[in-house]
Amino acid sequence: MKIAFIGLGNMGGGMAANLVKAGHQVNAFDLSEEALGRARENGCETFNAIPDAVRDADAVVTMLPNGGIVKSVYTDDVIGKAPQGALFLDCSTIDLSTAREVAASAEGAGYQMVDAPVSGGIAAANGGTLTFMVGGSEGAFERAKTVLEPMAKAVIHAGAIGSGQVAKMCNNMLLAIHMIGTCEALALAGKAGLDPQKFFEISSKSTGYNWSLNDYTPAPGVGAASPADNDYQGGFASALMLKDLRLAMEGAQTAGATVPMGEHAMKIYEAFVQSGNGNKDFGAIFTTL
Ligand code: NAD
């Protein structure tokens, strides 16, 4: 297939490279010259404008920072510029209402579109092991699967358009909550006189087990290897977690859902990021306790 790929940053760069490895022709565009240079090294053909990159594409994949950018890219440069019959896949994490609005514009112009946000960070993007949660019609999902599989460990149909973003915001709200809880428990164990490593051994096999504790232990030198062992460098930045929590709070307000723990988690990450820690891995909340 000929796939246009827009947004070749930390995530998109590796994803586009995996599409090339799978034998697709990838037409790449990014505002950053550096990102375009890396895409060329990975076998993509690069373009200076989005309409040129999408002109003869069978599918258009976007991996962009936020909903405002996704909306302007599709409205100004993709819808009406890509050939009729092209499939649009937005893999960015964005707010639900923009996801639905952009898909409605695309569908109004005769295109099929899915929202397909991902779970898994930069390593999974590079390794082709992302989990995609896909919102869209049955037909659009079947087409999307073929495009997404070379980048994926799992491709799951979440439901109608927007459902991928709902899954993503709920998943990351839950992740923030169990990460903060895990940090609190590890810190309390240590302060109350229990070796945190012993606490890890016990709780990771008891009812306290969860991904943050078992697979991404946020205390340095304890449990599973994680960014905590590298001064909280790399991993999933707290600023990105804050972005996802804000999207979840917006989504909860629109849906009329009550999310007191999610709200509290957002306030904790807000304070952490405002104190200059936005680049640190989200497990660094441990250092504040
Ligand atoms: P990034 O900032 O590294 O990359 C975004 C890229 O988009 C940049 O290269 C930027 O130059 C480009 N860009 C911005 N505006 C553009 C435009 N108008 N046209 C073309 N290119 C444009 O961000 P990232 O970490 O790759 O994240 C991308 C998306 O994936 C975000 O929505 C993020 O929330 C989501 N996500 C990230 C992670 C992660 O661990 N980094 C994990 C899961 C999901």
Structural domains in the chain, CATH included, are: 2-160 (3.40.50.720), 166-288 (1.10.1040.10)
Tokens of 52: 């040129």
Cα 167 to middle of ligand 1, angstroms? 19
**Residue 121 confidence (pLDDT) above 90:** no
Q: Ligand 1 centroid vs 56 CA: distance in angstroms?
A: 24
Q: How far apart are CA 209 and CA 196, in angstroms?
A: 14
> pTM of the full predicted structure?
0.94
Mutate to test the pocket of ligand 1, among 48, 63, 71 (most ligand atoms within 8 A of CB): 63
Active site residue 168: yes
What is the Cβ-side half-sphere exposure of residue 277, based on CA atoms within 13 angstroms?
22
List, for residues 46-78, the tens digit of each pLDDT value.
999 999 999 999 999 999 999 999 999 999 999
| Contact partners, residue 119, CB within 8 Å, separation at least 6 | 130, 131, 133, 168, 171
Asked whether the beta carbons of 201 and 235 are under 8 A apart, the reply is no
Best probe residue, ligand 1, of 30, 98, 118 (max atoms within 8 Å of C-beta):
30
For residues 40 and 242, give the distance between their C-alpha atoms in angstroms, rounded to a whole number: 32
Q: CA-CA distance, 147 to 208, in Å (whole number)?
A: 38
Q: Which of 119-123, 223-227, 229-233, 284-288 has the lowest mean pLDDT?
A: 119-123
The CA angle 149-122-9, to the nearest 5 degrees, is 95
* Residues lining ligand 1, Cβ inside 6 A: 6-12, 29-32, 35, 63-65, 69, 73, 92-93, 118, 121-122, 236, 240
The verdict on ipTM greater than 0.90 is: yes
Nearest C-alpha neighbor of 287 from the set 267, 271, 121: 271
